[in-house]
Structure 1
Amino acid sequence: MTIPNHAKANFHTLLRAAADGNLALMDCLDSRTSEPRYVLCAIGHDGTDRVFTPFGHLADGNPYDAYFPPDPDNPQGFLTAD
């Protein structure tokens, strides 16, 4: 499966923000579930104001339980619990 260009661009933005010291972890509230989320944000500057751009939140619990990785033998597939 190919990672779309917009996801790659966002990843590179996060790398630049981290290298420049402009990455923040913010305590936020999920707008759909009202659960607390710890959100990775790039910090931008608009004059003297700071702009926090959210890119994603940290996985709750064990992140290894939250995701299935790509299947190295099938470029279109993922390894599952089966």
Structure 2
Amino acid sequence: MAIPDHARANFQTLLRAARDGNLALLECADAVTSAPRYVICAVGRDGADFTMTPFGHLADADPYDAYLPPLEPPATSPST
């Protein structure tokens, strides 16, 4: 499974923000449930104002329970 270009670009932006010290952790409310979420944001400037670009939220529980490893591609049989 290939990682899409937009995800790679967002990851590079996140790395750049981390390298430059422009990351913030904000407490926000989930748009559907209103539960609190702790959101990782890149911080930018727009004149005297700050802009926060959300990239994702921290896992509420054990993140190992939330994800599965990528699937292995099916083995190909040699052609005869």
- TM-score bin (small chain): 0.7 to 0.9
Query: Quick check: which one's strand share is greater?
Result: 1
Task: Give per-residue Cα distances to partners, 1:13-46, cap 9 Å, x unaligned.
Answer: 0000000000001011001111100000000110
Higher-Rg member (1/2): 2
Counterpart of 1:75 in structure 2 is 73
Structure 2: stretches of 5+ with no match in the other structure: 75-80
Q: Give distance in 2, aligned partners of 1:34 and 1:59.
A: 16
| One-letter identity of the residue aligned with 1:44 | G
Q: Give distance in 2, aligned partners of 1:41 and 1:48.
A: 18
The CA RMSD over aligned residues, in Å, is: 1.1
Identity of aligned residues (%): 68
SS of residue paired to 2:73: strand
- Map 1:1-80 → 2, pairs under 5 A: 1-71=1-71, 74-75=72-73
Q: Which runs of 4+ in 1 moved over 6 A?
A: none
Number of equivalences: 74
| One-letter identity of the residue aligned with 1:7 | A
Q: When the two structures are superposed, what TM-score results if normalisation uses the length of structure 2?
A: 0.88
Q: CA deviation at 1:75?
A: 3.2
Q: Give distance in 2, aligned partners of 1:46 and 1:12.
A: 21
Structure 1: stretches of 5+ with no match in the other structure: 77-82
